[in-house]
């Protein structure tokens, strides 16, 4: 009599083979056949921790800290081993006691249905793991894309910088050149300067060669300068043709027009008023 048979009421009853659990199917697929593989190798390939794969094979689903991961890990593991992922997932649902009310929904939703106390943050972790796995499995593409972006940025910086430089140079070349005001070679050593605010634009400059009182008025008769100048003192007359001067000692003031010394506007120790300081009139008077 065959040992696999059992006598019951004088009848021979054939023993029904036990159905394999999901974990046993996973372990057999990994350890038998021509493609025997080690858990560490598969764990690295799938980016799933070794202890989680071992828990799936042993049916110890409580060792996986986030229940929502169980079905997702099992599906990826089954596909890697060449098994039908739907069959493995269905067995695990049955072993976990997931009711038929949860059938027909996604793996993560089924886990949540069986264990409604899972925190919402677990969903974020699931998607993070999936994204991480996807990037890990396709890292070559991501590395190539990153390299292309870096190269593009470098090219923009290099050629963009050259273009910007090329645009700036003509502006620099075309910029107006500010000429330095050449100091007049006065007849007397300069002692003190007055009206320096007008220095850069003054066409008429006065310098005392003797002590002399000088008053400058604008077109409305307002006094803009009044002072006794001593030899060496200079005064820069504001630009324009509306100013007039009064010299207490006309011969004691040297008048420079556009950098040139013109003849004295009057004799020594002679008071002269109403002297137009318009450059063209002073040049005509000489």
DSSP 241-258: S--EEEESSGGGEEEEET
Give the model's pLDDT for residue 125. Answer: 56
Q: Give pTM, 2 decimals.
A: 0.38
Contacts of 259 (CB under 8 A, 6+ apart): 182, 184
Contact between 253 and 273 (Cβ < 8 Å): no
Q: Long-range pairs for 122-125 at CB < 8 Å and ≥24 separation?
A: 122/66, 122/68, 123/68, 125/66, 125/68, 125/69
Alpha carbon distance 208, 249 (integer Å): 10
Give the model's pLDDT for residue 193. Answer: 93
HSE at residue 176, side-chain half, CA atoms within 13 A, is 3
Tokens 């099992």 sit on residue: 74
Higher local confidence (pLDDT), 209 or 170: 209
Mean pLDDT across 37-53: 92
Give the model's pLDDT for residue 114. Answer: 46
Confidence band for 132, pLDDT divided at 50, 70 and 90: low
Domains in the chain, start-ordered, CATH in brackets?
Answer: 5-139 (1.10.260.40), 193-285 (no CATH)
First to last CA, the chain: 152
Share of the chain above pLDDT 90, in %: 33
Residue 246: strand, helix, or coil: strand
Selection from 9-18, 109-118, 156-165, 219-228 with the highest mean pLDDT? 219-228
Average pLDDT, the chain: 79
Higher local confidence (pLDDT), 215 or 115: 215
Share of the chain above pLDDT 70, in %: 73
Backbone angles phi, psi at 285, to 5 degrees: -70, -25
Contact between 105 and 91 (Cβ < 8 Å): no
Mean pLDDT across 69-91: 91
- Asked if the model's pLDDT at residue 56 lies above 90, the reply is yes
- Asked if the model's pLDDT at residue 45 lies above 70, the reply is yes
- Asked if the model's pLDDT at residue 73 lies above 60, the reply is yes
Mean pLDDT across 81-95: 92
Q: In the numeric block, which tokens belong to residue 75?
A: 């599906």
The pLDDT tens digits of the residues spanning 97-112 come to 875 545 555 555 554 4
Measuring CA to CA, which residue among 92, 81, 88, 74 is closest to residue 28? 81
Confidence band for 117, pLDDT divided at 50, 70 and 90: very low
Contact between 50 and 72 (Cβ < 8 Å): no
User: DSSP class of residue 62?
Assistant: G
């Amino acid at each position: 009599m065959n040992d696999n048979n059992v006598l019951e009421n004088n009848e021979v009853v054939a023993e029904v083979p036990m159905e394999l659990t999901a974990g046993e199917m996973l372990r057999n697929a990994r350890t038998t056949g021509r493609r025997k593989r080690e858990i560490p190798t598969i764990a690295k390939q799938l980016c799933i921790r070794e202890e989680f794969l071992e828990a799936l094979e042993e049916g110890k689903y409580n060792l996986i800290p986030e229940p929502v991961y169980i079905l997702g890990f099992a599906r990826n593991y089954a596909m890697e081993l060449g098994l039908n992922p739907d069959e493995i997932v269905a067995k695990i649902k049955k072993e976990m006691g997931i009711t038929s009310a949860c059938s027909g929904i996604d793996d993560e939703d089924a886990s949540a249905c069986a264990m409604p106390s899972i925190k919402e943050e677990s969903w974020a972790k699931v998607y993070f793991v999936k994204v991480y796995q996807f990037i890990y499995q396709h890292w070559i593409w991501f590395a190539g894309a990153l390299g292309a972006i870096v190269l593009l940025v470098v090219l923009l910086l290099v050629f963009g910088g050259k273009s910007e430089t090329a645009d700036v140079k003509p502006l620099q070349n075309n910029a107006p050149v500010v000429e330095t005001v050449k100091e007049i070679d006065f007849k007397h050593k300069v002692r003190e300067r007055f009206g320096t605010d007008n220095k850069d634009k003054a066409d008429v400059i006065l310098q005392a060669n003797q002590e002399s009182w000088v008053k400058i008025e604008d077109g409305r008769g307002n006094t803009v300068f009044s002072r006794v100048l001593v030899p060496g003192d200079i005064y820069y007359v504001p630009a324009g043709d509306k100013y007039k001067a009064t010299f207490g000692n006309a011969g004691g003031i040297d008048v420079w027009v556009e950098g040139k010394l013109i003849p004295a506007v009057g004799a020594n120790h002679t008071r002269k008023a109403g002297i137009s300081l318009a450059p063209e009139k002073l040049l005509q008077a000489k």
